[in-house]
């Protein structure tokens, strides 16, 4: 069969390929049901400010995604047209395309935890201390940058239509795994597919849960590449250094701002490279070391000095320890 070459007029079909609006009623109903069940069980699944932050971030992400859709589709079309091979659009072609998309989603997700530049595109998703369906909407407005990780898909010969639909299905699958309502599923399903139990681990800041279970649809990638962790104790959700703001702009850009500030203090190309591509939290520059030392110092209260022994004429076996307080600061008029 001769390969079909895609043209710019195919972009008009993009609106017909969008399946997200069909899923919207299911998403809204799921959030409502989860909230009502939480009220019934007296479980605080939702917190108003946290929920509103997720909605605003989700709305912003939808706008960014719609704005870039044509650009991303055009890039994948150009790559697909450039290669001399093609995978036929068939049921097995869609299955293969979905597996390929999910494989690259695993690596895009994993690298987003292992390199600080990409972590800046992902940290927003982990900033909540809740786990509910609305958290799936909490995706950074800068996450489309990770489209770079998916360029091998059209290069493999999957046409833009297949790529676009498979990617949407993978994103939709991620919605339902953000919940505490579902405990465990049958063992065969838990072995192959990502489940709420697996993804709760991924959102945990417990030491054993950090940087585990990157899979999007198939947990089998984590089992293959050594990043799997089963759910044991209840996860503590959120970041190891909690973010206290609910401002959506802060939640999306705070790591980018910190990254930029650290780059300004880089003394060499190597330092700048390490800041960008070493794991989040890696101390690279002298400025970072000074900042960490200051943070540690500020955690020690200066109000009361350590207890000191006061020398006196009392015999040694009768000496007592007395606290010595710092003198109060005098106001200068």
Q: Per the domain annotation, does 330 fall within a domain?
A: no
Q: Per the domain annotation, does 54 fall within a domain?
A: yes
Q: What is the mean pLDDT of the chain?
A: 87
**98-to-7, 93, 112, 173, 223 alpha-carbon distances in Å:** 23, 9, 21, 12, 19
Q: Give the structural domain span for 141.
A: 8-225
Q: Residue 19's pLDDT is what?
A: 75
Q: Per the domain annotation, does 326 fall within a domain?
A: no
Q: pLDDT by residue (tens digit) across 111-159? A: 999 999 999 999 999 999 999 999 999 999 999 999 999 999 999 999 9
Residue 39 has pLDDT above 70, yes or no: yes
25 and 56 co-located in one domain: yes
CA 13 – CA 23 distance, rounded (Å): 19
Q: Residue 15's pLDDT is what?
A: 65
* DSSP code per residue over 199-266: HHHHTB-STTTTT----SSBTHHHHHHT------SPP-BS-SS------HHHHHHHHHHHHHHHHHT-
Q: Per the domain annotation, does 258 fall within a domain?
A: yes
217 and 263 co-located in one domain: no
CA 48 to chain centre: 21
Q: pLDDT by residue (tens digit) across 247-263? A: 999 999 999 999 999 99
259 and 216 co-located in one domain: no
Q: Per the domain annotation, does 173 fall within a domain?
A: yes
288 and 182 co-located in one domain: no
Count of structural domains, the chain: 2
48 and 167 co-located in one domain: yes
Q: Per the domain annotation, does 83 fall within a domain?
A: yes
218 and 262 co-located in one domain: no
pTM over 0.75: yes
Percent of the chain having pLDDT more than 90? 71
- Higher-scoring residue by pLDDT: 323, 7: 7
Q: Per the domain annotation, does 314 fall within a domain?
A: no
Highest mean pLDDT pick, 65-69, 222-226, 241-245, 327-331: 222-226
Q: Residue 17's pLDDT is what?
A: 67
* Count of C-beta atoms within a 10 Å radius of residue 326: 9
């Amino acid at each position: 069969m001769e390969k079909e070459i895609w043209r710019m007029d195919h972009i008009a079909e993009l609106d017909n390929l969008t399946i997200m609006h069909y899923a919207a009623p299911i998403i809204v109903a799921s959030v409502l049901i989860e909230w009502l069940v939480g009220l019934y069980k007296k479980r605080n699944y939702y917190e108003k400010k946290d929920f509103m932050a997720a909605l605003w971030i989700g709305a912003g992400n939808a706008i960014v995604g719609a704005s870039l859709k044509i650009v991303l589709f055009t890039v994948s079309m150009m790559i697909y047209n450039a290669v001399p091979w093609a995978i036929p659009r068939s049921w097995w072609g869609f299955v293969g395309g979905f597996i390929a998309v999910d494989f690259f989603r695993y690596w895009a997700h994993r690298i987003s935890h292992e390199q600080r530049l990409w972590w800046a595109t992902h940290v927003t998703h982990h900033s909540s201390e809740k786990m509910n369906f609305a958290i799936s909407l909490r995706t950074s407005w800068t996450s489309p940058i990770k489209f770079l990780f998916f360029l091998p898909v059209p290069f493999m010969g999957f046409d833009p239509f297949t790529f676009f639909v498979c990617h949407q299905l993978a994103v939709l699958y991620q919605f339902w795994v953000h919940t505490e309502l579902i405990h465990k599923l049958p063992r065969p399903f838990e072995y192959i597919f990502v489940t709420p139990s697996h993804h709760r681990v991924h959102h945990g800041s417990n030491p054993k849960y950090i940087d585990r279970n990157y899979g999007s649809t198939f947990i089998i990638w984590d089992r293959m590449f050594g990043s799997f962790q089963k759910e044991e104790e209840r996860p503590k959700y959120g970041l190891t250094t909690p973010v206290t703001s609910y401002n959506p702009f802060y939640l999306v850009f705070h790591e980018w701002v910190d990254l930029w500030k650290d780059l300004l203090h880089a003394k060499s190309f190597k330092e700048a490279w390490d800041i960008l591509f070493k794991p989040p939290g890696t101390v690279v520059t002298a400025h970072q070391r000074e900042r960490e030392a200051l943070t540690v110092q500020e955690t020690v209260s200066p109000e009361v000095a350590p207890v000191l022994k006061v020398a006196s004429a009392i015999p040694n076996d009768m000496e007592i320890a007395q606290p010595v307080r710092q003198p109060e600061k005098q106001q200068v008029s």
